[in-house]
Amino acid sequence: MSNIPALPQNIVKTLINFLYLEAKNRGFNRVIIGVSGGVDSAVVAVLCKMTFGNHLQALLMPSITSSKSSLTDGIALCEQFEIPYQVQPITAYDEAFRVQHKEANLIRKGNFCTRVRMALLYDLSQEIRALVVGTSNKSELMLGYGTIHGDLAYALNPIGGFYKTQVYALAKLLNIPKRIIDKKPSADLYAGQSDEEELGYSYEVVDKLLVDICKTYDDLSKIDTKKLALLGYDKEMLNSIVPRIKKNLFKHIPPIIYRP
């Protein structure tokens, strides 16, 4: 039996209240979100629509390497749920970076595009006075699938406490299109990129480990692979996932300011 917690009752209502109250506490009644065509941004977009109605703006920002389905699925979602949206391609920024930095690897190119997207979100957020809402789930955050000052630079995040498999359950509750739910999870950092292929394991498998890690350790820097192996986890998997978690812990630390 899976150790992944079931979604709490009335979770949709709870998340709507969270979004409304946290935005209100910051003095906002409008939010903005980047829609990628993936399940995470789809879930957050629909939650925001249910919370703020038309006081919501979605921005779709395809790059040179974005898959065609990212844009078409994102537009289809917005039109199905009557979410106001704009398409603002970042191909010109992407191309300029590639020309200036021909030596850049795929990760650098992907991180640049992610930061450009967040810059555009914050620019539009100032124009229409809207709060930026994030779309990273707990599994991604633990595994390092996030870019500082990129997709991690949001004001609110309603799904950051949910594992990827829980987000899929939430997507079904919200009637997110099956086409979006069934597509391979991807940060879309470069052509053909797939989270699960990079990890070597499905999110369903990885999430079980992540749940046990969070139950066992308050301080993730102290994860002990030997202790987890006693729970029956494959050593090869532990030797792959645990270092990845530890290596990316710095992304969760707020900027440190020296105060004389």
The CATH number of the domain holding residue 100 is 3.40.50.620
Helices (H), 146-199: 164-173, 178-182, 195-199
183 pLDDT above the threshold of 80: yes
Q: Is residue 228 part of a domain?
A: no
Quick one: which H or E segment has residue 73?
helix 68-80
Tokens of 110: 């992907």
Q: Is 185 helix (H, G, I), strand (E, B) or coil?
A: coil
Rg, C-alpha atoms of the chain: 19
The yes-or-no verdict on residue 192 having pLDDT over 70 is: no
pLDDT reported for residue 197:
82
Token pair 């270092």: residue: 243
The pLDDT > 70 percentage for the chain reads: 97
Q: Is residue 217 a part of any domain in this protein?
A: no
* Residue that is written with structure tokens 């969760």 in the block: 252
| 224 is a domain residue | no
Q: Is 197 helix (H, G, I), strand (E, B) or coil?
A: helix
pLDDT, position 216 = 93
The pLDDT assigned to 3 comes to 87
- Which of 190, 169, 166 lies closest to 70 in space, CA to CA? 190
Average pLDDT for residues 24-47, to the nearest whole number?
A: 97
Domain tally, the chain: 1
The answer to whether residue 253 is domain-embedded is no
234 within some domain: no
Q: Are 84 and 58 in contact (CB under 8 A)?
A: yes
Residue 260 falls within a domain, yes or no? no
Q: Which domain holds residue 31?
A: 11-195
Cα gap 132→167, rounded to integer Å: 20
Q: How many helices and strands, by DSSP H and E, does the chain display?
A: 12, 4
Alpha carbon of residue 172 to chain centroid: 17
pLDDT at residue 1, rounded to an integer: 38
Short-list 151, 91, 87, 146, CA closest to 122: 151
The mean per-residue pLDDT over the stretch 220-231 comes to 94
CA 102 to each of CA 92, 105, 108, 132, 202: distance values in angstroms, whole numbers, following the listed order: 15, 8, 11, 32, 33
The average confidence (pLDDT) of the chain is 94
Residue 47 has phi, psi (to 5 degrees) of -60, -40
Q: Which of 42-46, 50-54, 63-67, 95-99 has the lowest mean pLDDT?
A: 63-67
Report the DSSP beta bridge partners of residue 31: 56, 131
Tokens coding 167 = 């987000």
- Cβ atoms of residues 150 and 115 within 8 Å: yes
Q: Is residue 246 part of a domain?
A: no
Answer whether residue 6 is part of any domain: no
pLDDT at 190: 62
**Per-residue confidence (pLDDT) for residue 196, from 0 to 100:** 79
